[in-house]
A = this chain, B = another copy of it.
Amino acid sequence: MREAEARAVLTNGYTARMEQPTGSAAPTARARARAELTEEIKACASRHLAEQGAAGLSLRAVARELGMASSAVYRYFPSRDELLTALIIDAYDAVGEVAEAAATGKGTMVKRFTAVAMAIRAWAVAHPHDYALVYGTPVPGYAAPRDTASPAARVSLAALQVVADGAAAGEVDVSVRRPMPIPKATRSDMARLRVAASIDLPDEVLLRVLLAWTTVFGTISFELFGHLHTVVEDYEAFFRHQVGRAALHVAGG
């Protein structure tokens, strides 16, 4: 029994302990209560995270605020890191959602790309600790990669889609004035990316997008982590301008 339980936790995480609705929608009262309390714990932890950051997130503190014993929380999350992982997934989904919403807008590729970047930054500024949790220093060794992989991809795919649309509309200049030789390894990296993202863009354009992408997150990280403290005063104006540059570069400018 104990071994089976341990294995379940190892393979499927805490969700494995939730009783699945048995075909016909009949969630037992206990399962409902469990799902609710799980959400409540996550919500409370998210609040604590927003206030004090990941380092200050204490399982005992959320248990106290929820009026339960600290040991009871372990029925829902097997460890503090698992709780953090759940919050990471939520954060990925949140930023992915705002990016996708911004990507659906109309206009030129440069405009849409800028809109996506601005949306990401706005989310990051509004939720700095969530941003840090996701795009800052990884928490322990690092968080579970499998569970976070697909939510993490959403935000990037949104941007790639914008560029793919722009390329289809002829807004992307594929001719290179001064071609840089692309290393063989990087070529195969891009080939793999094309398959994984199901997006047909030439190496040249993909690399331009990645350049712009690292600029977006590099600039946001610099802003939030204080590396532009003595340089920039109006962060939003600076960011919009730089993202515009990056988007023009993607278009081939």
Q: Any chain B CB within 8 A of the CB of A38?
A: no
A-side interface residues, number (CB < 8 Å): 60
CA distance A225 to B244 in the complex (A): 26
Q: Give A133 to B182 CA distance when docked, in angstroms.
A: 32
With A178-B253, A214-B219: A55-B237 Cβ-Cβ less than 8 Å: no
What string of 1s and 0s marks CB contacts (under 8 Å) between A217-251 and chain B?
Answer: 11101100111011111100110111011101100
Q: Within 8 Å of chain B (Cβ to Cβ): is A23?
A: no
Of the listed stretches A11-19, A69-77, A139-147, chain B binds A139-147
Partner of A232, one of B182, B189, B241, B245: B189
Complex formed: what's the CA distance from A178 to B242 in Å? 14
B135 touching A207 by the CB < 8 A rule?
A: no
Min CB gap A128→B, angstroms:
10
Report the separation of the CA atoms of residues A225 and B134 in the bound assembly, to the nearest whole angstrom.
9
**A211–B136 CA distance with the chains assembled, in angstroms:** 20
Closest 8 CB pairs of A and B: A218-B218, A136-B137, A214-B218, A185-B234, A183-B237, A132-B137, A214-B219, A137-B137
Interface residues of A (CB under 8 A from B): 53-55, 132-133, 135-140, 142, 145, 149, 152, 177-178, 180, 182-183, 185-186, 188-189, 192-193, 196, 207-208, 210-211, 213-219, 221-222, 225-227, 229-234, 237-238, 240-242, 244-246, 248-249, 253
6 CB < 8 A contacts A-B: A132-B137, A137-B225, A138-B226, A185-B238, A189-B233, A215-B218
Q: List 20 extra interface pairs beyond A185-B233, A189-B234, CB under 8 A.
A: A55-B140, A135-B221, A135-B227, A137-B137, A138-B225, A178-B253, A180-B245, A183-B237, A183-B238, A185-B237, A189-B231, A192-B231, A207-B245, A210-B242, A211-B242, A211-B245, A213-B218, A214-B214, A218-B218, A249-B249
